[in-house]
Amino acid sequence: MSIFAEGRAAVITGAAGGIGLAVARACLDRGMRVTLADHDGDRLRAAADSLAGQVAQAVCDVSDPAQVEALRDAAVAAHGPVDLLVNNAGVAHPNKPWSGREGWEATLAVNLWGVINGLHAFVPMMLEEGRDGAVVNLGSKQGITNPPGNTAYNVSKAGVRVVTEQLAWEFRQIEGCRLSAHLLVPGFTFTGMTAGGAAEKPAGAWTGEQVAERMVEGVEAGAFYIICQDNEVDWDTDRKRIAWGAGDITEGRPALSRWHPDFGEAFRRYPGP
């Protein structure tokens, strides 16, 4: 039975806009019951009002474990057992390794601890229910290839990748476990966080709706790494970048050699895996 089916229940954090709201629409289009969560109550209410279907809402700061537990209780009260948890909430505060402590703390609190808080609040209950279900955590290509310039964000998303890989392994150790774990890895996506004040989507970006549909396809296909291309970077290019980054370790190159002046030409000539 598909998780994305009529009567199944989903909880989505960071759902007042962007990818989270698009995922909510994709779930509702398939007859699911959806609980939206976001820290911004006004935007959350507007988002809920824009949707058709069985929608509940809960104001929630995912960095606060008590609020995430309250979200769990509200979701169950509204729609019953949770079949799909999408830990989507995220922020970005550009900084350097040695500066911007407030941005560091805020980014890790939401992007990484928000996911961990979601797992602690929901997974034990989902395991106890024994139903088919899925946990989708929002990663980022930046958490894999680690481009310069946004250290805290990259660290947070690298952490989400590791947590989600470990979650998938843990599920496999539980006899009869019917839960799956998935890492959704968007490419360049036009959302409120990435728009930078622009009113129109750049040609190179995907929409949140495209990412949401890719998520549904990936979960239903049983994919763990659900990599989203965009209109600028194809899968061959992504594979080349990922493999080159891993090669910095195995080949003894300088850190982030893709952006090092002595290795730029070598990367351009690299055929990829």
Is residue 241 helix, strand or coil?
helix
Question: How far, in Å, CA of 30 to CA of 71, rounded?
Answer: 23
What are the φ and ψ backbone dihedral angles of 80, each rounded to 5 degrees? 85, -160
Q: Give residue 186's identity as a one-letter amino acid code.
A: P
In angstroms and rounded to an integer, the radius of gyration of the C-alpha atoms of the chain is 19
Quick one: which of 149, 141, 168 has its CA closest to 241? 141
User: How far is 54 from 57, CA to CA, in rounded Å?
Assistant: 10
What whole-number distance in Å separates Cα of residue 181 and Cα of residue 142?
20
CA pair distance 232, 33, nearest whole angstrom: 34
Identify the active-site residue in 153, 206, 244, 263: 153
Is 270 annotated as catalytic? no
Half-sphere exposure of 257 (CA within 13 A, CB side): 20
Per the CB < 8 A criterion, the answer to whether 78 and 34 are in contact is: no
Q: So which residues are the catalytic ones?
A: 153
